[in-house]
Amino acid sequence: MSNYFNLARVHSVAIDADYVWVEFPNGSMAVLEASDLPSSEPGSFVHVSNDLSVVLAAPAGAAWPRQFRIIGTLRHTEGERSLLEIASQLKAVEAESIESPNVGESYWFDESARMWRPLTQAESNVVAGFDAEDSMPFAVESLKPEDGGAAAVGGLTERITELTRLVLASFDARATGSTASGLKPISGAMFFGPAGTGKTHLARSVAQETNAQLITVNGPELVSKWVGATERVLRDLFAHADKYPRSIIFFDEFDTIGARRSPESHDFVNRQVGQLLATMDGANRTKRPFVIASTNRLEDVDEAFLRPGRFDYTMEFTVPKQAERLDIIRAQSRSIAAATPAVIAWLASASNAWTPAELGLIWTEAEAGQRAAGAPSITKEHIALGYEKARAQHSAIERTRDAWALEEAQRA
């Protein structure tokens, strides 16, 4: 006879009460004679030998081993039924079998009580795909005017002045619960336009001008790294931003987070869009953080975000004209002695259809040329070299765009 015993739980009793079904932690079942058991009460625990020949009473307080064999996320609950998502499949369960039901939260199945129990915060973080210590995975920057501010942005003076005024009014309302300035606070701003036209730069400059804490959220990273937990991360994001008296949340590549919904959309897209809308709507307008969203593809953003009360202020970014390029180049080259007014004017006239990012490449390449030559400072020759390298890249990008446009026209 084996002296090795396994914990088992009385599952059910036969109709004639002579036999009892017992269940083991691995899910297997065995039939034992009721007379061999110290207790045949369903739910009670016993110790059973390997060969099933000996059954002993389990110690007082014995409990079923907690195993995460089944973990689900609550997606809907109404009346007597709830829907749990388990391994990408929906399962209907009795609502009363879920302890402290909260849509969006994760639960483990407690087999001893036949109940769905909520995971701890640490366990939820592991299931969600990031460490418990990293439950707020976005860096917060405390920015000030001396970090650059409006002086670092060329060609957008009027826009940064107006947006700064709106953001300050929002912060004023958040601090006092009213609008002392008399300006109605807005919920957020939507930046849209081609890549490289200064959307991210303007968001940072506004944060600098307003002494704000800037929380930058990269859309693709949020969706890919925390897939399945995006809704909870979004809730945590806004709750974290509420801790700061002046906070700006900047969503870069917003079309990946606030993607347009359709009948063909994946369920996770509908959930994350719905969660972000609910989070923005649920916060008191005078208390919520200011939100700036940036996208290269406004047509891919769900139209619900463009309704009043969400992103009230929209700003289109375009390729700068010559006068704007002059301001941009002047701002970018403030610390470069060789960037004389004549040099700046020439660069502005010789860079038609360039974006601010492409203009900035001139100075990156000029500095690289200076380092390679071991020169004490950037000269006009380095600037000319930087311009030529930036022009070559601009031309390559233009050729690629033309090729894509041709392919699309042929497909149409």
Q: Can you tell me the distance from the alpha carbon of 7 to that of 2, in angstroms, rounded to the nearest whole number? A: 14
Q: Would you please indicate which residues are annotated as catalytic (active-site) residues?
A: 408
Q: Can you tell me the distance from the alpha carbon of 253 to that of 190, in angstroms, rounded to the nearest whole number? A: 11
Measure the CA angle with vertex 205, ends 202 and 209; round to 5°: 140
Query: Collapsing DSSP states into helix, strand and coil, what is residue 279?
Result: helix
Label residue 63 left, alpha or beta by phi (over 0 means left) and psi (-120 to 50 means alpha). beta
Element containing residue 373 per DSSP (H, E): helix 356-373
For the chain, the residue count is 412
Inter-residue contact 158 to 151 (CB < 8 Å): no
DSSP state, residue 284 = -
Kindly report the backbone phi and psi dihedral angles of residue 238, in degrees, each rounded to the nearest multiple of 5, phi listed first: -70, -35
Q: Can you tell me the distance from the alpha carbon of 329 to that of 344, in angstroms, rounded to the nearest whole number? A: 6
Q: Starting at the edge strand that comes first in sequence, how are the strands of the sheet with 89-94 ordered? A: 89-94, 81-86, 71-78, 106-110, 115-118
